[in-house]
Amino acid sequence: MHCNVDGAQVFFDGNYKGDIQGGVLTVPVYSTGTAYKEYSVQKDGYTTYTDSITGVPGKGQTIDLYATLNPAQPTQGPIGGDQGWYMVHCNVDGATVMFDNDVKGVIANGVLSVPVYVTGTPY
């Protein structure tokens, strides 16, 4: 898996497979297992990339998949919705942060800032 954004999370058929590091992530698959149909790559601040997986690698073979993430356009929050943040600190860069089983991003430089609306449903 090749991607232009380090720290982006890779999913095959909705299952998390790891984070892009140095522009790549190797995802081992069994040639006799159920073939994956779709992959997606996401990172906070970028538009999620999704595409089909059209082949299955044979034994010892590699199939290269590519994703280019583009910065997301800023969105206006709900009118009157005051915003706050959770600052999640961790000693492991690249660790995935989840709130109520919803992926919020990965730790970078020891921290991840997660915006929340004070009028929204609490986690």
Q: What is the pLDDT of residues 54-92, one digit of tens each?
A: 888 888 889 999 999 888 766 555 555 677 778 888 898
Across the chain, the runs of DSSP E, i.e. the strands, are 2-3, 9-12, 15-19, 38-42, 49-52, 66-67, 83-89, 96-99, 102-106, 111-117
**For residues 93 and 11, which has the higher predicted lDDT (pLDDT)?**
11
Structure tokens given for 118? 């004070």
Percent of the chain with pLDDT over 90: 40
Q: Domain 1-74 has what CATH class? A: mainly beta
pLDDT-derived band of residue 50, with 50, 70 and 90 as boundaries? very high
pTM of the model: 0.60
Domain with CATH 2.60.40 in the chain: 1-74
Residues 4-14 pLDDT 10s: 999 999 999 99
